[in-house]
Amino acid sequence: MEILPNIEPFRSRFHELEKQLSLPETFQDNQLASEISREHRRLCGILELYDKIQSFENQVKECESLIEDPEMGNEAKSEILMLTTNIQECKQDLLVSMIPPDPEIGKNIIVEIRAGAGGDEASIFASDLYRMYTRFAERLKWSVECLSQSNSDTGGFKEIIFILKGEDAWSKMKYESGVHRVQRIPVTEAGGRIHTSTSTVAVLPEAKDVEISIDPNDLEINVCRASGPGGQGVNTTDSAVQIQHLPTGINVYCADERSQLKNKNKAMTVLRSRLLQKKQQEENEKYAQNRRSQVGTGDRSERIRTYNFPQSRITDHRVNYTSHALQETLMGDLEHIIEILEKEELSERLQNINFNE
């Protein structure tokens, strides 16, 4: 019979968390209490699955002892088949539940879309991607808040940065980081030729203050008059804020609000998330050698998807998935792609984890 993964580290951790949850001081820190409770529920589910498998296996042994019985034999064989199916399903669920959870699960996200190669067409495509993500957010009842935008003369975006707030925003959107390529006849093309343009998408988990500590002395903050449509208040006061993080050279500019304070707060939100991303990338690079590339790494040099308008085709190159539901996807129906990417990521994580270490 297939050996089950070593459950003892999970059981020991479960008992440790039970003790912590019994202490009054645990609940003096709401965030700590929430994290402990979440991990406790996860471990409880793992242990319940493990106990269920053992119970099914004990029932199989009892049925096997009855196979030769002339009256009970056939019924025992039928019961063994059903129990074996239950065991396999529970084992798969157990393995999945034992995978370490993504530390970013549950976070809001910051999405940065920038026009890449292709001039005006690239900026128009950037606005198409923004529309696709905001409609996807509407379908899932997430909230959308624009942090910063830079418009092009053709009505698209040179750059747009926005925040998506939703419980599963990170788990759904983390696969979107990378280079998106479009193939179509631009509205600016008089000769009817198909052009190839790109836009980059970066998806960053919103950093919490406890994750990233920023020394105010490391910041250079400048305020200036925002550029924008004439006659609006945003254009008549020094409300735009630019923040440079001196140690890393990261620059953030925000002019979306009329209030200088609001723009500063938004810029700091973006800065914290970019610093968190940089910190995570540096940590990942330590272990990057001799490892297979994971689905949705977020490498901006990676062409992840092509939107081919002449053939109404959308292709995700990471999983070789092609669909002809191009228009539906651009209207916010991203689930069919995300489900494939989720399955691929789960398969790779199961292959690369040794549960018996």
What's the pLDDT at 78?
A: 92
Q: By residue range, what is the domain housing residue 63?
A: 8-98
Per cent of the chain over pLDDT 70 is 87
> Do residue 186 and residue 307 come from a single domain?
yes
pTM, whole model, 2 decimals? 0.71
Whether the Cβ atoms of residue 260 and residue 238 lie closer than 8 Å to each other: yes
* Structural domain includes residue 293: no
State the Cα–Cα distance between residues 331 and 253, nearest whole angstrom: 29
pLDDT of residue 293: 37
135 and 247 assigned to the same domain: no
Dump pLDDT digits (tens) for 228-274. Answer: 544 444 445 678 889 999 989 899 988 878 888 888 888 888 898 88
Same domain for 222 and 202 = no
Q: Which of 58-67, 134-143, 342-351 has the lowest mean pLDDT?
A: 342-351
Say yes or no: 166 and 248 in one domain. Answer: no
Task: Give the C-alpha distances (Å, rounded to integers) separating 337 from 104, 135, 325, 326, 343.
Answer: 21, 15, 10, 11, 10
> Per-residue pLDDT tens for 152-170?
888 899 999 999 999 899 9
Are 193 and 311 in a shared domain? Answer: yes
Q: Which of 66, 98, 130 is the last residue of a domain?
A: 98
Looking at residue 214, its pLDDT comes to 85
Together in a domain, 206 and 220:
no
Q: Is residue 60 part of a domain?
A: yes
Question: Quick one: 12 and 158 in the same domain?
Answer: no
The answer on 75 and 202 residing in a single domain is no
Question: pLDDT digit string (tens) for 101-154?
Answer: 888 888 889 999 999 988 889 999 999 999 999 999 999 999 999 988 888 888
Out of 98, 128, 155, pick the residue that ends a domain.
Answer: 98
Q: What is the pLDDT of residue 211?
A: 67
